Structure 1
């Protein structure tokens, strides 16, 4: 059934032109473009975090909410341009490529910071994949409940377990995980990006309809009111969590270098990546402002954590169903965007550690219905195991989404701010105590404070959830 070849002995076929088939590093020619990179970014950034932005703005109010959104859009775009410049090693324009975030840090900073980067990046990626399994199952359950209410009436109990849907999500991910690498993920990211636009637009449209229909929700310049909506302590904790939610809703630095490594050259990868970052962040900001601000106008200080659920499970039930299906499909693609760097890291490590092991290195080419598929037994076993483990974690710890806030707080500062700034200072040889050095450091320290504040808010929310924790008790 087809043919076999060894990854470690791949070479050029006789008569093949190296310049046409391979890049300057000997790897197969990259084919990524501004469109595919922008799709990857939008898929990674918009995420289901857009659904909580109405709640976040409700905690901060009209004055601080939009201002914080704009501030983090600028910070994210700025630091992403610094990180994009670090893709090539210091030196000539065509310096050696860095394939992962850890490689970038190793080239520019070195030392223990490489291990710190790996811990922050891969810890965050594992956390996101578990969190997405939970979130996707919640959206699937929402569809089932909506149909139940529509069929049996609004007073029906309609209690539905999340676990079968986590299993369905995992089964689909086992299949999608056999996509060999980031370079072949473009079509899935484009589908996922379209889905994110769809459910964001539905939420925005329903919010506009609610406001136009005469809904007079109470909104204020400072958000939730102490003594009316929340206690003084809750106001502080919720404001901390809201700032953290907004900061992490923009972060995609965990996968930026891996996305950049898919781009064809010329033009220079950093130039295209900066444009893609601008497209991704500006598009995201428009959607965030529309959904967050109009959602706050629709629901006021009582805005729910997921603003799509604020419209109820009832009518228009088919539109809410469609939005939740879009969320689930989007998360299918987003899971892969965040999982591929983990898959690649483990597979590259193992192939370097055991280059003679045929189970790890041999690729089997299968011809099915006229199409050629490359299958590797180690990839099949390892990726399937990973998906099953993330699904089990999601089932055992249904409050993991709150824990994800803590992981986000811990990884946001080093990955999105600290390393890009430090590598820029090292690469550009910015003089110590110069104006540029000072303002870069002030930006870095300010974001550190935001991360610490968000971490405190997440810990408080997590402590509250753990008190009510019942393993395998996740029913909607």
Structure 2
């Protein structure tokens, strides 16, 4: 944070870029599994929990007594909970961040295929068979991410986050507008009626009882993933100016970002469900959702791709930096690890005028970041299953990173320990400690259920499709 220049608006843009990504596209499907009451209520519950725990986490950026900065989520966990918990946090955080990059790559490739498929259906008719492999598009996404990943510092990606946030608003607005237009035209699938009053409680697609339960669990995992950003909150907070206080600015940024994303989520999810009914697609803007106007759907998918290029970097940069910091500590004298080589562009490119200063290349950054992006791309090619991958990521990451660690750090920071109360030497925990632990327990149970649903969905998908042979 030697030259941190972030504000509440750049921090909000970073958060919105991380939140409004793959998740918004699956919400119509998710609400179709849970119904008109349980669906929006679940989404509001996850958003509220995320905002509450993000406020707790924001207070952990600086140590409450020494004022020392914790530059990463892991450093904050180490400062309050010790080395062992830091390692546990690091494993979960890396799994979540790497998994998120895989999810973003899958979503971007689906959107690129959707553009081609939309044009095919427009020319040949909506009943035509237009199926295309996502592999070529995943390779293209990987190449683009390798190039962008060479930007050395996270705080220099503010412009990319702002662009990505604009794209997210644009495609979410297009999806919302198309759903509203379908509802307003009277051609929508689901309509309120007394004979469908059960839809107002809990409902899933027409399936047997166990399938409904598993799909509901997967939908909960999708919603948890859609509301997750705690894994990079400390890293985003580290980009802020030191005045005003970073925790106050971050709380405002979290409030802005969570409020905006929740409103978009509710509108997109509810109108998407109203437009498609029980057969809402897993990805609302894929070619299995809307067909016309095809040019507008193509524009929305282009925006998704641009947004996810940025979201990929926002989630991948903490992994890059952690790996490079570890390598620098282990091999401090290695030129491969530490030396920067300046690449100057030839003046002929600029018409003989003086060339710009060029850019720097570090061998470790070039090789390490390329390898990590390549690994994410290969995994995405092997298991490009949108809803189940998102649900598994949400289940694995939401409870530990969004709930458990922030709550436990808050308890340690506030010295909210089980203290003596009443006579007779009996010990009774304070009410707020009980409330926080109940929150922990409930979120853990929900996460386990969501993980079970996602794993079942992935196993069924892998039985139906061969790895690297999936067509959308």
TM-score (norm 1): 0.90
Answering whether residue 436 of structure 2 is matched by residue 462 of structure 1, we say no
| Large movers: runs of 4+ above 4 Å | 310-313
From the superposition, tell whether residues 313 and 242 of structure 1 become closer, same or farther in structure 2 (CA, over 3 Å): closer
Alpha-carbon distance in structure 2 between the residues aligned to 1:310 and 1:63: 28
| Cα deviations by residue, 1:25-63 (Å, 9 ceiling, x for unpaired) | xx5321111111100100101112111111111111112
Alpha-carbon distance in structure 1 between the residues aligned to 2:204 and 2:397: 31
Answering whether residue 274 of structure 2 is matched by residue 300 of structure 1, we say no
Answering whether residue 397 of structure 2 is matched by residue 397 of structure 1, we say no
Alpha-carbon distance in structure 2 between the residues aligned to 1:111 and 1:350: 19
Shift of 1:97: 1.0
Alpha-carbon distance in structure 2 between the residues aligned to 1:156 and 1:466: 26
Query: Paired residue for 2:17?
Result: 43
Alpha-carbon distance in structure 2 between the residues aligned to 1:225 and 1:348: 47
The secondary structure found in structure 1 opposite 2:62 is coil
> Does the Cα contact within 8 Å between 1:145 and 1:158 map onto a contact in 2?
yes
Equivalent residue for 1:435, pick from 422, 431, 434: 431
| Cα deviations by residue, 1:60-105 (Å, 9 ceiling, x for unpaired) | 111211111111111000000101100112314xx11111111111
| Cα deviations by residue, 1:313-369 (Å, 9 ceiling, x for unpaired) | 642100110111111111100000110011000100111111111121112344543
Query: Paired residue for 1:221?
Result: 200
Alpha-carbon distance in structure 2 between the residues aligned to 1:449 and 1:200: 31
The secondary structure found in structure 2 opposite 1:409 is helix
What are the within-5 Å matches in structure 2 for residues 53-72 of structure 1? 53-72=27-46
Alpha-carbon distance in structure 2 between the residues aligned to 1:444 and 1:321: 42
Answering whether residue 65 of structure 2 is matched by residue 98 of structure 1, we say no
Answering whether residue 316 of structure 2 is matched by residue 339 of structure 1, we say yes
Query: Paired residue for 1:122?
Result: 94
Alpha-carbon distance in structure 1 between the residues aligned to 2:201 and 2:387: 27
Shift of 1:378: 1.5
Shift of 1:372: 4.5
Alpha-carbon distance in structure 2 between the residues aligned to 1:386 and 1:35: 30
Shift of 1:406: 2.3
Equivalent residue for 2:60, pick from 79, 82, 86: 86
| Cα deviations by residue, 1:155-205 (Å, 9 ceiling, x for unpaired) | 543332211111111111111001112110100011111111111101110
> Does the Cα contact within 8 Å between 2:182 and 2:188 map onto a contact in 1?
no
Query: Paired residue for 2:368?
Result: 382
Alpha-carbon distance in structure 2 between the residues aligned to 1:156 and 1:64: 36
From the superposition, tell whether residues 400 and 122 of structure 1 become closer, same or farther in structure 2 (CA, over 3 Å): farther
Q: Gaps spanning 5+ residues in structure 1: where?
A: 1-26
> Does the Cα contact within 8 Å between 1:364 and 1:376 map onto a contact in 2?
yes
**Number of paired residues?**
446
> Does the Cα contact within 8 Å between 2:343 and 2:358 map onto a contact in 1?
yes
Alpha-carbon distance in structure 2 between the residues aligned to 1:63 and 1:240: 16
The secondary structure found in structure 2 opposite 1:374 is strand
What are the within-5 Å matches in structure 2 for residues 35-434 of structure 1? 35-92=9-66, 95-218=67-190, 220-224=199-203, 229-309=206-286, 312=289, 314-368=291-345, 369-399=355-385, 402-432=388-418, 433-434=429-430
Superposition RMSD in Å: 1.8
Alpha-carbon distance in structure 2 between the residues aligned to 1:457 and 1:142: 26
Shift of 1:225: 6.0
Query: Paired residue for 1:33?
Result: 7
The secondary structure found in structure 1 opposite 2:341 is strand
